């Protein structure tokens, strides 16, 4: 018997405009170096009980699913309503192909409202037939379960938009948290983030930014929370992997698109 | 002096779910053959006076611009409001980088309404700063000009959604029409489509479909309109390029992603 483990795949580690950026002549965007190629931020998770889910569905969702061979999903979670996290929503239709299949969707009220406004036809009850997207929406107000995994929403500050991270706990595999878009983590939320095996955290770039953690700010959070491993994500084109990755402290790494992490096992 | 010419690039020739389709085991989707790889339908045009525009911005817009090296645009035109034609809208922000830059957007009223509903922040006047999308919307009600090119909207039938094709005429380079989503073309619209150098037309698959032309139906339209060349586009995964392309009559071809066509010159 294999030991119970989570398998995490970074589907994308980029900001809202990805890397390379259209029309940008900076050294990272023009490097052609695959370690600096970043689709819009998203995470795929397979749990020990074979349940699987995605956190956020940006416009690159189709390509991300194709290149990782993702053909089934048990749930989709959303951190917040920004375009780069939701606008691939319709491509989830391939995960509700049978006429009676529904896909559970978890989001806060504001995010769900924008999804419902933008993709009205998926929610108005008219398109229940084979091959069309049939979401079963849930407004996240507290912890919930996906199979044997307990999911705890983590309220964070990210500009004006109400935003969540998520903590995932499995009784045998361990725990991780995913916070791709965050500027500040309130104390009450930090209290929910102790004892993690893996922390995955926004770290946009070295330069400060009004709505995202910089590298230094993220390293402060990482030191405070003291997860066994911390992986940084959601990078702009100011983040040159080759230059920054070697300078990080022990236990902290820069995530790359398509990278896999195993927790437990 | 080079002779005046239009250069057309097929940015994508696929349906709403692209080809390969997530989770599909059909021979085309599993072939790995690049001629059957199709991003969501979109066309890029460069006119003889160096003006350039895109027709439709599906979720693949960023990748399409990167792989074709598109770094400037003078306008964006929309055929209709379906998800696969509009949901890459936000990635147009890279074409309005200076703080005072605006990008003209042409669409019918229903399409513009869905874009404005889905991307409210681009239209509410709050995000006029550097790097954010600053569209200048125009509701299409009749012919208009982009530089020296006259653009004529072509009303067509495509299910329940009000849909346009477009005819483009340049006094020296010639003329073409682009109708990626159409089930039927009314006589009044056909009268606007005579004497074309190039006709680009929806031809979803060999099998009949309620809202798209089949290959046989498209060939009937092509024979009636008698453009100098006809190119078919907007293909499902039932369309195997290798099998279907050799069977087409003279003067008709299947478009491929990234294919270029020159008109005039």
Q: What domains appear along chain A, each with residue ranges and CATH number? A: 5-264 (3.60.15.10)
Confidence band, pLDDT 50/70/90 cuts, at residue A203: very high
Confidence band, pLDDT 50/70/90 cuts, at residue A1: low
How confident is the model at residue A124, as a pLDDT?
86
pLDDT tens per residue across span A78-123: 999 999 999 999 999 999 988 888 999 999 999 999 999 999 999 9
Strands A135-139 vs A103-107: parallel, antiparallel or unpaired: parallel
Residues from chain A that touch B24, judged by Cβ atoms under 8 A, are 94
For testing the chain B interface, which of A18, A21, A22 should be mutated: the one with the most B CBs within 10 Å? A22
A191: Cβ–Cβ under 8 A, 6 or more apart, which residues? none
Rg for chain A (alpha carbons), in Å? 18
CA distance B165 to A247: 54
What's the gap in Å between the CA of A65 and the closest CA on chain B?
7
Q: Do B62 and A22 touch (CB under 8 A)?
A: yes
Give the number of other Cβ atoms within 10 Å of residue B29's Cβ. Answer: 18
Q: Which two tokens stand for residue B189?
A: 């619209």
Which phi and psi angles does A213 have, rounded to 5°? -65, 140
Confidence band, pLDDT 50/70/90 cuts, at residue A224: very high
Residue A100: Cβ-neighbour burial (10 angstroms; 0-12, 13-18, 19+)? exposed
Sheet holding A260-264, edge to edge: A135-139, A103-107, A75-77, A52-55, A42-46, A5-12, A260-264
Closest CA to A104 of A62, A63, A147, A70: A147
Residues of B with CB under 8 A from a CB of A: 16-18, 20-24, 59-63, 65-66, 70-72, 83-84, 87-88, 90-91, 93-95, 97, 117-119
How confident is the model at residue A155, as a pLDDT?
98
Q: Do B62 and A18 touch (CB under 8 A)?
A: yes
Strands A174-179 vs A163-170: parallel, antiparallel or unpaired: antiparallel
For testing the chain A interface, which of B23, B37, B161 should be mutated: the one with the most A CBs within 10 Å? B23
What's the gap in Å between the CA of B82 and the closest CA on chain A?
10
Whether the CB-CB separation of A157 and A184 falls below 8 Å is answered with yes
Residues of A with CB under 8 A from a CB of B: 16-18, 20-24, 59-63, 65-66, 70-72, 83-84, 87-88, 90-91, 93-95, 97, 117-119
Residue B204: Cβ-neighbour burial (10 angstroms; 0-12, 13-18, 19+)? buried
pLDDT tens per residue across span B55-98: 999 999 999 999 999 999 999 999 999 999 999 999 999 999 88
Judge whether residue A132 has pLDDT over 80.
yes
How confident is the model at residue A130, as a pLDDT?
72
How confident is the model at residue B1, as a pLDDT?
65
Whether cis (ω within 30° of 0) applies to the bond prior to A20 is: yes
How confident is the model at residue A128, as a pLDDT?
64
Mean pLDDT of chain A: 96
Closest in A17, A62, A118 to B94, CB measured: A17
DSSP class of residue A90 equals G
**In degrees to the nearest 10, what's the CA dihedral of A214, A220, A225, A230?**
50
pLDDT along chain B (265 residues), means of 10: 91 97 96 96 97 98 98 97 97 91 96 97 79 93 98 96 97 97 97 98 97 98 98 98 96 98 94
- Helix B109-118 / helix A109-118 crossing angle, nearest 10 deg: 170
How confident is the model at residue B208, as a pLDDT?
96
To the question of pTM greater than 0.90 for the whole model, the response is yes
pLDDT tens per residue across span B135-149: 999 999 999 999 999
Q: Do A23 and B94 touch (CB under 8 A)?
A: yes
Chain B's closest residue to A88, CA to CA, is B59
Whether the CB-CB separation of B88 and B58 falls below 8 Å is answered with yes
Chain A's closest residue to B38, CA to CA, is A63
User: Greatest CA span in chain B, whole angstroms?
Assistant: 54
How confident is the model at residue A125, as a pLDDT?
80
What's the gap in Å between the CA of B210 and the closest CA on chain A?
15
């Amino acid at each position: 018997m294999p030991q119970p483990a989570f398998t995490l795949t970074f589907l994308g580690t980029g900001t809202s405009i990805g890397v390379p950026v259209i029309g940008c002549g900076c050294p990272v965007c023009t490097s052609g170096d695959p370690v600096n190629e970043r689709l819009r931020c998203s995470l795929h998770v397979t749990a020990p009980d074979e349940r699987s889910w995605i956190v956020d569905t940006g416009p690159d969702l189709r390509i991300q699913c194709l290149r990782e061979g993702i053909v089934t999903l048990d749930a989709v979670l959303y951190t917040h309503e920004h375009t780069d996290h939701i606008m691939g929503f319709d491509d989830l239709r391939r995960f509700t192909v049978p006429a009676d299949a529904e896909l559970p969707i978890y989001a806060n009220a504001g995010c769900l409202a924008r999804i419902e406004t933008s993709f009205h036809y998926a929610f108005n009850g008219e398109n229940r037939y084979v091959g069309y997207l049939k979401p079963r929406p849930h407004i996240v107000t507290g912890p919930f379960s996906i199979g044997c995994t307990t999911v705890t929403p983590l309220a964070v500050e990210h500009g004006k938009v109400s935003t969540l991270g998520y903590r995932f706990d499995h009784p045998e595999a361990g725990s991780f948290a995913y916070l791709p878009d965050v500027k500040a983590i309130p104390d009450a939320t930090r209290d929910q983030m102790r004892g993690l095996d893996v922390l995955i955290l926004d770290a946009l770039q070295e330069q400060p930014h009004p709505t995202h953690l910089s590298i230094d700010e993220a390293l402060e959070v990482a030191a405070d929370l003291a997860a066994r491993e911390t992986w940084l994500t959601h990078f702009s084109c100011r983040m040159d992997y080759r230059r920054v990755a070697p300078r990080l402290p022990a236990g902290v790494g820069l995530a790359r698109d398509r990278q896999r992490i195993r927790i437990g096992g």
